[in-house]
């Protein structure tokens, strides 16, 4: 069953094609990551799926609702956590959640219980009546997640959920995201420029560039498709070791230098042992061996040829604000 399904979804701005014939299916209950450099089209995709902007052509179904014909139902069934802070710091956490619950017509008889539930879910129940201006950055992000969940959405959109947070707080937010997916049975769609974040959290990833999906798969499969792992063996006899290893089918490339042998190999962790065993058979002392396995960052560079960069205010937020002003 699919939470999101798009068919040739396209968005053009005059001569610019921001999203080009996007065909995408996201399974219910998965954490799905959209990765791409600035201007890749990921923000435009979010904006269309959240009914903030209409597509130029094509269609999309979100939670079983058409984003054009049933836009109100789509909005009712999703939650959004924006990149920029959007809670009111002059209100308490409980007041922020109550205001949002009223906007989404959460019944008054269950509103109090639901507020307590989401505050507990994000670990803020003891700060329910504290002013948000007294919160740390990580606490604010958690409150925004609670706000996005108050009306029991089936899909939660997270736009750069840990941007600007310190490493320890980021890891705490990761734990909460995983908890949300498991306990709330949510489908989560997230954008991020942190490769470690996408690697850790996402069941599935699409790398987007120039409005087109370049590749899509699990993080592990994406990394395994790269040429191989890099191994550096430090030894006094790199040429002799290279000669002894010549012809091995697991070695893709090999280069000896003054005090080291650099290799590109299949399944580096497993074949490093074979390299060490071969060195022992040749009576060659190995001083050290380092394995550099491909990362998601390597995958990103391979498919886009560009570094991913931190963004200022995201186009997704800008389009949302323009739409709100136009109401």
The answer to whether residues 173 and 234 belong to one domain is no
Q: Is residue 192 part of a domain?
A: yes
Any bridge partners for residue 207, and if so which? 35, 215
pTM of the model: 0.78
Q: Is residue 204 part of a domain?
A: yes
The answer to whether residues 158 and 70 belong to one domain is yes
The answer to whether residues 282 and 316 belong to one domain is no
Burial of 103 (0-12, 13-18, 19+ CB in 10 A): exposed
The answer to whether residues 320 and 285 belong to one domain is no
Average pLDDT over residues 258-270: 89
Structure confidence by residue, pLDDT tens digits, 22-42: 999 999 999 999 998 888 898
Q: Is residue 319 part of a domain?
A: yes
Structure confidence by residue, pLDDT tens digits, 178-204: 988 888 889 999 998 888 999 999 999
What domain range is 209 assigned to?
Answer: 2-77+153-223+302-325
* pLDDT the model gives residue 1: 83
The answer to whether residues 173 and 266 belong to one domain is no
Closest CA to 272 of 295, 247, 291: 291
The answer to whether residues 172 and 72 belong to one domain is yes
* pLDDT the model gives residue 306: 60
Q: Strand order of the sheet with strand 57-62? A: 16-27, 2-13, 57-62, 65-66
The answer to whether residues 181 and 275 belong to one domain is no
The answer to whether residues 173 and 278 belong to one domain is no
When divided into structural domains, the chain yields a total of 2
Contact 166, 198 (CB under 8 A): no
Structure confidence by residue, pLDDT tens digits, 117-156: 999 989 999 999 999 999 999 999 999 999 999 999 999 9
CATH code for the domain in which residue 164 is found = 3.40.50.300
Q: Is residue 203 part of a domain?
A: yes
Q: Is residue 9 part of a domain?
A: yes
The answer to whether residues 316 and 263 belong to one domain is no
Q: Is residue 128 part of a domain?
A: no
The answer to whether residues 259 and 274 belong to one domain is yes
The answer to whether residues 71 and 8 belong to one domain is yes
Closest CA to 49 of 37, 31, 63: 63
The answer to whether residues 311 and 276 belong to one domain is no
Closest CA to 223 of 201, 250, 195: 195
Q: Is residue 251 part of a domain?
A: yes
């Amino acid at each position: 069953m699919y939470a999101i399904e798009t068919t040739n979804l396209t968005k053009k701005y005059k001569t610019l094609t921001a999203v080009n014939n996007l065909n995408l299916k996201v399974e219910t209950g998965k954490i799905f990551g959209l990765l791409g450099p600035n201007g890749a089209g990921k923000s435009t995709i979010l904006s269309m799926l959240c009914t903030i902007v209409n597509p130029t052509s094509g269609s999309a179904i979100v939670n079983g609702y058409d984003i054009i014909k049933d836009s109100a139902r789509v909005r009712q069934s999703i939650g959004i956590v924006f990149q920029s802070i959007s809670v009111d710091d002059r209100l308490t956490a409980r007041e922020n959640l109550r205001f949002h619950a009223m906007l989404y017509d959460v019944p008054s008889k269950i509103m109090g219980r639901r507020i307590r539930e989401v505050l507990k879910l994000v670990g803020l129940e003891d700060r329910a009546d504290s002013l948000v201006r007294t919160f740390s950055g990580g606490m604010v992000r958690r409150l925004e997640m609670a706000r996005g969940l108050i009306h029991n959405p089936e899909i939660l959109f997270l736009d750069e959920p840990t941007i600007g947070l310190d490493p320890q707080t980021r890891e705490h937010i990761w734990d909460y995201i995983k908890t949300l997916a498991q306990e709330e049975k949510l489908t989560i769609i997230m954008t991020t420029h942190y490769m470690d974040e996408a690697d850790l959290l996402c069941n599935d990833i699409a790398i987007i560039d120039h409005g087109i999906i370049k590749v899509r798969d699990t993080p592990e499969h994406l990394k395994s498709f790269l040429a191989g792992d890099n191994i550096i063996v430090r030894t006094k006899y790199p040429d002799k070791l290279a000669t002894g290893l010549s012809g091995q089918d697991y070695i893709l490339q090999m280069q000896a230098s003054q005090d080291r042998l650099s290799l590109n190999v299949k399944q580096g962790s497993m074949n490093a042992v074979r390299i060490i065993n071969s060195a022992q058979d040749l009576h060659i002392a190995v001083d050290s061996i380092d394995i550099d396995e491909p990362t998601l960052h390597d995958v990103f560079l391979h498919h886009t040829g560009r570094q991913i960069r931190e963004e200022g205010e995201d186009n997704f937020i800008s389009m949302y604000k323009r739409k709100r002003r136009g109401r």
